Structure 1
Amino acid sequence: MINGSKTITRPIRWAMVGGGEHSQIGYIHRSAALRDRNFELVAAALDIDPTRGRVFGEQLGIDPERCYPDYLSLFELEAQRHDGIEAVSIATPNGTHYAITHAALEAGLHVVCEKPLCFTLEQAEALRTLAQSKGRIVGLTYGYAGHQLIEQARAMIAAQALGEIRMVHMQFAHGFHSAPVEAQNQATQWRVDPRQAGPSYVLGDVGTHPLYLSKVMLPDLKIKRLMCSRQSFVASRAPLEDNAYTLMEYEGGAMGMVWSSAVNAGSMHGQKIRVIGARASLEWWDERPNQLTFEIQGQPAQILERGMGYLHPDALQDDRIGGGHPEGLFEAWSNLYRRFALAMNAADRGDAEALAALRYPDIDAGVEGVRWVERCVESANQDSTWVVY
């Protein structure tokens, strides 16, 4: 159980790029990073408006001299300090991720980046090569992977509790953009602009989340080929999709499906993953993250609750408040940031064994997310033909 004990000798000196006052995701980054005292927020370039960013930075308790107008100034001037930053989180629109991550790695910093890591597989591979050459950690914020029942599902599948895996059904299908809300919502506008969002909208924005959960649960399941159909039900979003269906064939014959959508009217979030085996199935739903459904053919369904002693030790390692009390997204993100800190610390110490023992959404997860989106777009643009993965 996580109880607040120190896991590293001192907090990592940390900065944010983006995540300003009106950011949708900035607060959860700060809450997760600061909760376990593994990070200390000492500098930032929070806003495209330097004055607004500085004012908000001061409200967060950052020294005004370390509230920078842009990320280049942040990296350059912090490198000149004896107490300069060691890591940075990037919470900016998708189109900026590659340049900022590249600059951060060149500056010798560890990185936590919003997904997608970048727009193209070529860019992603270049970032992976750079991170490896610099010995730096790159983490991706697939925050839902921090829920402890994801680890429980992984352990049960590995123990053959489901039998041979036949199907994996995934979805992240909310309804908040079932109308053209971007006309009034600036925070949504960039998500449907190809110049800032890249080659896809919902495939990269939501579809990669359950895809990563499937990789945690089923690490040996490899995609062989896929086919994708995508739609722009709000016509003004074309060529970007607001709905997509992706069918995948895995090596060995299992099948997978991902429904990615922002137009599932009435749905709050709609992220689910169901793994179906020859003997049993399990299902996790992010709106009810404290329960994992386990269904053995011919027997009553079981509901496994987080925090209970019957769970696998790997799941209980991520527990924070014991059984019965509900945990949610803030705890899941905090678990991931704790792992990011441990990985950064291990990399700084040159402890390859400790680093290899950690599991978190790393640079490889970022590369695979970009690869999947690229292949989906390729398939959809070829009239939904099968493409080799």
Structure 2
Amino acid sequence: MFNEERHFDQPIRWAMVGGGRGSQIGYSHRNAAQRDGLFKLVAGAFDLDPERCRDFGINLGLDGDRCYANYKEMFEQEAQREDGIQAVSIATPNSTHYEICKAALEANLHVVCEKPITFTTEEAEELKAIAAKNNRVIGVMYGYSGFPMVQQAREMVKRGDLGEIRVINMQFAHGFHNEEYELNDPGLKWRVSPEVSGPTYVLGDIGTHAFYLCEVMTGLEVDRLSCMRQSFIKSRTPLEDNAHVMMEFKGGAVGTLWASAVNAGSMHQQKIRIVGSKASIEWWDEQPNQLRYEIQGEPPRILDRGMGYLYQDVEGVAANRVGGGHAEGYFESWANLYHRFALAFDAADRDDQETLAGIWFPGIDAGIEGVRLCEKCVESADQNAAWVEYK
């Protein structure tokens, strides 16, 4: 079971940029970060409107004087306090991630950032260098990777249960944006605007989630890829609302990724299937407590979270917040990641590099690869789906 006895002498003093009133992502961060008592929200720059920010922060129980008009003011003023913030989460539109993350690192803060962390790999590599120089940690919010059965899949691949990995099929293909809903939805409008969203829409917004699951579960590195992308809602051009990517991995495995917002009638359809020489596994985020395991020549079996036949010696697999049979979900996965972020931040603050190196979490390297995926897919698609080298 999950270790609820793990605590610090004092919780990490934590703030948010963005994620104000009505933000689903903002609530997700606050719920997850404070679930285990390792973080305490003490400040925020939640909204572009200072009055709305202050009103919202006070309603969350914060001191009104620590609800700031913008992130620059917050970082400057909090640095002057003995009880100033130690970490910040960034839940703002994509175009702002790089500048806010850089400012936070230069203010000696640990960071949790939404993805994509930057628009270019050069920017992401710069953030990595600043973090290393200042002994700060960057966490990237790939929220689905905290599910115990994702960690079970990772361990099964690592221990050779599937044999040699041959094929990986990834998809995240919902149908919620099959029409031009952005005309009346500001939250969608910025996601389909290149100056705010960046060079991609569904590839960066949801495709990177599925791709990161592949990275987590298999550890394989892409060698080259080919991408075709479409804007079925023409006003979204040049950003895609549907994309298909073919990949070749180092070592000989191959894969596909389908990212879509126009899969009419679908909820999420975020699935990953890993095919090995002996067996295959499949995980679906709408049924996250189960992992389908298929051994050639044997009946398929469904592995359930929280059961003794799983690899319970692996912390991520054993991190069950309630017994098997009960439904754990999205918030638990996020909380598991924030728990790991807290442990990493604490280890860095103590300069315990050995402990830090042993903590798995989606960090800056995960962020870099997500940005690289988007860049390479755009490069390929702009050349009529030509195969391009990944690195």
Task: Return the TM-score normalized by structure 2.
Answer: 0.98
Q: Secondary structure in 2 aligned to 1:214?
A: helix
The alignment partner of 2:22 has SS state of coil
For residues 86-138 of structure 1, what are the alpha-carbon distances to aligned partners after superposition, in whole Å with 9 as ceiling and x for unaligned? 00000000000000000000100000000000101111111111111111000
Quick one: distance in 1 between partners of 2:3 and 2:156?
Answer: 25
What is aligned with 1:375?
A: 376
What one-letter code is carried by the residue in structure 2 that aligns with 1:379?
S
Q: 2:389 aligned with 1:388, yes or no?
A: yes
Separation in structure 2 between the aligned mates of residue 9 and residue 233 of structure 1, nearest angstrom: 53
User: 2:266 maps to which residue?
Assistant: 267
Corresponding position of 1:231: 230
- Report the Cα distance in structure 2 between the residues aligned to 1:362 and 1:306, rounded to whole angstroms: 25
- For 1:17-60, what per-residue CA distance to the aligned partner results, in whole angstroms no more than 9, with x for missing partners? 00000213100100000000000000000001111111000000
2:349 corresponds in structure 1 to 348
Q: Which residue of 1 aligns with 2:282?
A: 283
Counterpart position of 1:338: 339
Which amino acid is 1:270 matched to? Q
Matching of residues 88-99 of structure 1 within 5 Å = 88-99=88-99
| Residue identity opposite 2:323 in structure 1 | G
User: What whole-Å deviation, never above 9, does each CA across 1:334-361 have from its counterpart, x for those lacking one?
Assistant: 0000000000000000101110110100
Partner Cα distance (2:261, 2:53) in 1 = 30
**How far apart, CA to CA, are the structure 1 residues paired with 2:9 and 2:343?**
11
Match of 1:189 in 2: 189
Moved segments of 4+, more than 6 Å: none
CA contact (8 A) 1:153 1:217 kept: yes
Conserved 8 A contact 1:32-1:330: yes
Tell me, yes or no, if the aligned pair for 2:3 and 2:319 is still in contact at 8 Å: no
Instruction: Please give the alpha-carbon distance, in whole angstroms, between the structure 2 residues aligned to 1:108 and 1:177.
Output: 39
Which residue identity lines up with residue 104 of structure 1 in the other structure? A
- What is the deviation of 1:316? 3.6
Alignment of 1:305-344 (within 5 A): 305-313=304-312, 314=314, 315-344=316-345
Is 1:169–1:257's contact at 8 Å kept on the other side of the alignment?
Answer: yes
CA distance in structure 2 between the aligned counterparts of 1:3 and 1:298, rounded to whole angstroms? 39
Secondary structure at the aligned position of 2:251 is classed as coil
The CA deviation at 1:147 is: 0.1
Pair 1:210-2:180 in alignment: no
Q: How does 1:129-144 map to 2 (within 5 A)?
A: 129-144=129-144
TM-score of the aligned structures, taking structure 1 as reference length:
0.99
AA in 1 matched with 2:310: L
Given that residues 119 and 199 in structure 2 are in contact (C-alpha distance below 8 angstroms), is that contact kept between their aligned partners in structure 1? Answer: yes
Cα-to-partner distance string for 1:287-307 (whole Å, 9 max, x where unaligned): 000000001112110000001
Inter-partner Cα distance in structure 2 for 1:121 and 1:234: 28
Aligned letter for 2:286? E
Contact 2:224 2:248 survives alignment (8 Å): yes
What fraction of aligned residue pairs are identical, expressed as a percent? 60
CA contact (8 A) 1:49 1:69 kept: yes
CA contact (8 A) 2:162 2:280 kept: yes
Please list, as runs of the form range in 1=range in 2, the aligned pairs for 1:132-171 lying within 5 A after superposition: 132-171=132-171
* Distance in 2 between residues matched to 1:251 and 1:91, nearest whole Å: 34
Task: Tell me, yes or no, if the aligned pair for 1:113 and 1:140 is still in contact at 8 Å.
Answer: yes
- Deviation per residue, 1:148-198 (Å, 9 max, x gap): 001111111112111111100000000000011100111111000001000
Match of 1:296 in 2: 295
Q: Distance in 2 between matches of 1:373 and 1:236?
A: 20
Question: Is the contact made by 1:6 and 1:37 (CA closer than 8 Å) also made in structure 2?
Answer: no
Give, in whole Å, the separation in 1 of the partners of 2:251 and 2:304.
Answer: 32
Paired residues of 1:8 and 1:342 also in contact (CA < 8 A): no
Structure 1 residue aligned with 2:75: 75
Q: Is the counterpart of residue 65 in structure 1 residue 65 in structure 2?
A: yes
How many equivalent pairs are there? 388
Q: Distance in 1 between matches of 2:103 and 2:331?
A: 29
- How many angstroms does 1:7 deviate by? 3.2
Q: Give the residue type in structure 2 aligned to 1:9.
A: D
Q: What is the correspondence of 1:25-40 to structure 2 with a 5 Å cutoff? A: 25-40=25-40
Alpha-carbon distance in structure 1 between the residues aligned to 2:162 and 2:135? 39
- Partner Cα separation in structure 2 for residue 125 and residue 240 of structure 1: 24
Deviation at 1:3, TM superposition (A): 4.3
SS in 1 for 2:29: helix
Shift of 1:4: 2.3
Q: Distance in 2 between matches of 1:300 and 1:238?
A: 46
Q: 2:44, 2:68 within 8 Å by CA — same for their partners in 1?
A: yes
Moved more, 208-217 or 107-116: 208-217
Deviations 1:203-260 (A, max 9, x none): 00000001111111111x1110001000000000000000000110011111011101
| Displacement of 1:9 | 2.7
Distance in 2 (CA, whole Å) between partners of 1:384 and 1:90 is 33
Question: Could you tell me how far apart the structure 2 residues matched to 1:212 and 1:316 are?
Answer: 18
Assess if the C-alpha contact under 8 Å between 2:306 and 2:318 holds in 1. Answer: no
Which residue identity lines up with residue 93 of structure 2 in the other structure?
A: P
The offset of 1:317, in angstroms, is: 2.8
Q: Is the CA contact (8 Å cut-off) linking 1:149 and 1:289 kept in structure 2?
A: yes
3-state secondary structure, aligned to 1:10: coil
Corresponding letter in the other structure for 2:176: F
